[in-house]
């Protein structure tokens, strides 16, 4: 933490420079923290959280519960680019 926040322009420049980026999925605060400390460029926060972590039958339920955006708003404070 404490580095430069990754932007879409940074990702575009990496592609132009043929530089590889690192992208992972994070489902909770500890994984978000580890991703940031490891210097991950992009973190995907997907609706599969409902099935993978919460054991729901599908991905639609997580959006209906409004848990998705509230629980992962913490990801915006880190240096990686969070994609929801």
55 three-state secondary structure: coil
User: What is the rounded CA–CA span in Å between residue 68 and residue 83?
Assistant: 13
pLDDT in tens, 10-50: 999 999 999 999 999 887 778 888 888 899 999 887 667 77
Instruction: Answer yes or no: are the C-beta atoms of 43 and 35 closer than 8 Å.
Output: yes
Beta bridge partners of 44: 25, 83
Q: Record the pTM.
A: 0.70
pLDDT in tens, 42-71: 988 766 777 777 777 877 766 665 555 555
């Amino acid at each position: 933490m404490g580095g430069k926040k990754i932007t879409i322009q940074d990702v575009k420049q990496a592609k132009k420079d043929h530089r590889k980026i690192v992208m992972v999925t994070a489902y909770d605060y500890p994984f978000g923290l580890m991703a940031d400390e490891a210097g991950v460029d992009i973190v995907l926060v997907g609706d599969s959280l409902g099935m993978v972590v919460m054991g729901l039958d599908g991905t639609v339920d997580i959006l209906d519960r409004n848990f998705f955006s509230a629980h992962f708003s913490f990801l915006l404070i880190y240096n990686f680019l969070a994609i929801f």
